[in-house]
């Protein structure tokens, strides 16, 4: 017995240890076998067999931070075609030397053509696949093939996809007409009864010729520039139209996604005055006891500062500021009203009124959800806005007051 003990121990160790080796290295992939994809463009190909044309913007790491850069493009675009998304992805491996790794995809660009046809089929793989993230940003390429967006050289980031992400982040903070819309938001939007998602638009300004080479940045004004543009309004999973101006800003406000934007109002006597709205808080509620005739209440509280007032208004007087904030309130109400009317025009409840209804009156919602489009088209809504002008920045009155 005693002599057997070490033998037994050894056997036990072997029994436990060897199976570990049998499994091999699971799904281990060395980093230099990976091609990190930064952005994916999804275009509509010809016919059913090539329905999806996927273009992968792959990072060439050596060109970005390596010491042995060859002076080639910092990203490379590879394309695969297929009947489904995954087939197209696998198909692209004929062009790529390494495994296309989708975990760092930051941008998904869908062409307008495909968006008008419907995007719900392609969203499934994005949600199912373990590598892709639900936090990737989704864009619709306006009037252009999505592929073009990802094959434009950019100045500030060597990786165009990152450039686009940063542009969106910057503009949603400064200009306010766009906000982050991720794969997750899009899928939720598609699921909205009688509604759909809104997706940021993206387009290329300028001359496409040579946009995919370094020549694009050789001039002071880059020949082609990626630009975040209007919001695309969807009904179910189909693009219905583009929201511009007040409609876009109002939509962003209704989703409570932006805090600040520059508000320009026209004073009856003194010309344009610009406010920097730096705080907006929106609350939606519904009086839905009668599900057939709900009344939606939009409550918005804003804080703003006077940024531009090139006139002879006496800004030291509280009364003037009171009046100015009144005009700001009117402006805000106008924007929101335009946004809701636009949604009604597209007959798409992308604002989420239906969802609100469902949450406040679930029983009522069951009765109306089958004909929600009709109710939404004629529903009443009320906008309660309030705005405070907190300060006038570095000056009180403009120098124009006492010339």
Partner 1 sequence: MNSRRQTLRSKSKEQGLPGSETGTPGLTGSLDEDIRNIRIALGGSPDLKVRKIQAGKEYPLQAAAVHISGLADATAVNEFVIGSLLSDPSGQQPDDTGSPEPFPAWLIQRVLELGSAEVTVEWNDLLLAVLSGDTAVLADGYLSAVICDTRGGEARSVEESSSQMVVRGPKDGFVESVATNISLIRRRIKSPKLRLEYTKIGTETQTHVAMLYMKEIAGEDLVDEARRRLNKISIDEVLESGFIEELIQDKTFTPFPTIYNSERPDVAAGNLLEGRVVIIVDGTPFVLILPAVFTQFFQSAEDYSQRFDIAILMRIVRYVSFIVLLLGPSVYIALTTYHYEMIPTTLLINLLSQRETVPFPAFVEALLMEGAFEILREAGVRMPRVIGQTVSVVGALILGSAVVEAGIITPIMVIVIALTGIASFAIPAYNMAIAGRIIRFAFLLLGAMFGFYGITLGLILLVAHMNSLRSFGIPYLSPFVPLSVKGQKDTILRLPLWLMGRGKTAAQLREEQPEYKRVTTGHEAGLAPLIRDNAAAGRSEEKVEFHEEE
Q: Which of 4, 23, 219, 402 binds partner 1 (CB under 8 A)?
A: 23
- Considering only the stretches 57-65, 111-119, 264-272, 383-391, report the one whose residues sit in contact with partner 1 under the rule CB under 8 A: 57-65
Per CB under 8 A, does 20 bind partner 1?
yes
Cβ proximity to partner 1, 120 vs 133, nearer residue: 133
Per CB under 8 A, does 32 bind partner 1?
yes
x-marked contacts with partner 1 along 104-123 as a string, rule CB under 8 A: x-x-----------------
Q: Rule CB under 8 A: which of 131-160 touch partner 1? A: 131, 133
User: How far is residue 61's CA from residue 35's CA, in Å, rounded to a whole number?
Assistant: 9
Per CB under 8 A, does 38 bind partner 1?
yes
Beta strands per DSSP E along 214-339: 224-235, 238-243, 261-267, 271-287, 295-308
User: How far is residue 388's CA from residue 58's CA, in Å, rounded to a whole number?
Assistant: 48
- The angle, 0 to 180 degrees and rounded to 10, between the axes of the packed helices 120-128 and 85-92 is 60
Cβ proximity to partner 1, 54 vs 105, nearer residue: 105
User: How far is residue 36's CA from residue 153's CA, in Å, rounded to a whole number?
Assistant: 18
Nearest approach in angstroms of CB 99 to partner 1 is: 10
Q: Which of 14, 49, 62, 266 binds partner 1 (CB under 8 A)?
A: 62
Q: Which of 6, 18, 19, 27 binds partner 1 (CB under 8 A)?
A: 27
- Considering only the stretches 84-92, 97-105, 219-227, 282-290, report the one whose residues sit in contact with partner 1 under the rule CB under 8 A: 97-105
Per CB under 8 A, does 66 bind partner 1?
yes
Per CB under 8 A, does 127 bind partner 1?
no
Per CB under 8 A, does 319 bind partner 1?
no
**Binding residues for partner 1, total number by CB under 8 A:** 29
- Considering only the stretches 31-39, 76-84, 320-328, 363-371, report the one whose residues sit in contact with partner 1 under the rule CB under 8 A: 31-39
Q: Which ranges in 50-130 belong to alpha helices (H)? A: 61-65, 85-92, 112-117, 120-128
Q: Give phi and psi for 61, each to the nearest 5.
A: -60, -35
- Considering only the stretches 18-26, 295-303, 366-374, 394-402, report the one whose residues sit in contact with partner 1 under the rule CB under 8 A: 18-26
Beta strands per DSSP E along 73-171: 75-82, 99-101, 107-111, 137-141
Contact (Cβ atoms closer than 8 angstroms) between residue 58 and residue 36: yes
Nearest approach in angstroms of CB 124 to partner 1 is: 20
Q: Rule CB under 8 A: which of 218-247 touch partner 1? A: none
Q: Which of 153, 297, 269 is nearest to 215 (CA)?
A: 153
Q: Which of 77, 78, 84, 79 is nearest to 52 (CA)?
A: 84
Count Cβ neighbours within 10 Å for each residue of 62-86 and write b for 16 or more, e otherwise.
ebeeeeeeeeeebbbbbbbbbeebb
Q: 171: number of CA atoms within 13 Å, CB side? A: 21
- Contacts with partner 1, residue ranges (CB under 8 A): 2, 20, 23-32, 34, 36, 38, 59, 61-62, 64-66, 68, 101, 103-104, 106, 131, 133, 162
């Amino acid at each position: 017995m005693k002599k057997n003990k070490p033998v037994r121990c050894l056997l036990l160790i072997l029994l436990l240890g060897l199976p570990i080796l049998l499994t091999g290295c699971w799904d281990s992939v060395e980093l230099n076998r990976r091609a990190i994809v930064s952005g994916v463009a999804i275009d509509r190909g010809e016919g059913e067999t090539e329905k999806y044309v996927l273009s992968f913007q792959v990072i060439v790491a050596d060109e970005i931070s390596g010491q042995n850069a060859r002076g080639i493009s910092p990203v490379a675009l590879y394309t695969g075609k297929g009947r489904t998304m995954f087939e197209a992805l696998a198909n692209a491996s004929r062009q790529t030397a390494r495994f296309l790794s989708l975990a760092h995809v930051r941008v998904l660009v869908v062409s307008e053509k495909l968006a008008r046809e419907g995007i719900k089929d392609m969203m499934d793989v994005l949600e199912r696949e373990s590598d892709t993230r639900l936090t990737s940003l989704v864009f619709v390429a306006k009037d252009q093939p999505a592929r073009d967006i990802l094959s434009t050289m950019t100045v500030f980031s060597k990786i165009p996809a990152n450039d686009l992400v940063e542009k969106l982040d910057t503009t949603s903070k400064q200009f306010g007409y766009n906000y982050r819309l991720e794969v997750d938001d899009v899928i939720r939007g598609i699921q909205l009864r009688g509604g759909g998602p809104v997706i940021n638009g993206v387009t290329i300004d300028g001359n496409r010729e040579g946009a995919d080479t370094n020549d694009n940045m050789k001039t002071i004004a880059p020949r082609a520039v990626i630009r975040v543009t209007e919001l695309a309004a969807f009904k179910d999973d189909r693009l219905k139209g583009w929201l511009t101006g007040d409609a876009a800003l109002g939509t962003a406000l209704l989703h409570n996604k932006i805090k600040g934007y520059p508000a320009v109002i026209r004073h009856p006597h003194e010309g344009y005055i610009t406010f920097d709205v730096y705080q907006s808080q929106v609350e939606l509620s519904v009086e839905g006891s009668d599900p057939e005739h709900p009344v939606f209440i939009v409550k918005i509280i804003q804080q703003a500062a006077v940024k531009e007032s090139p006139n002879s208004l006496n800004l030291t007087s509280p009364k003037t500021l009171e009046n100015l904030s009144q005009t700001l309130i009117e402006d805000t109400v106008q924007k929101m009203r335009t946004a809701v009317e636009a949604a009604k025009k597209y007959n798409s409840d992308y604002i989420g009124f239906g969802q609100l209804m469902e949450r406040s009156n679930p029983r009522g919602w069951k009765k109306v959800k089958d004909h929600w489009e009709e109710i939404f088209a004629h529903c009443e809504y009320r906008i309660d806005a309030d705005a405070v002008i907190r300060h006038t920045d570095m000056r009180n009155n403009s120098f124009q007051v006492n010339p």
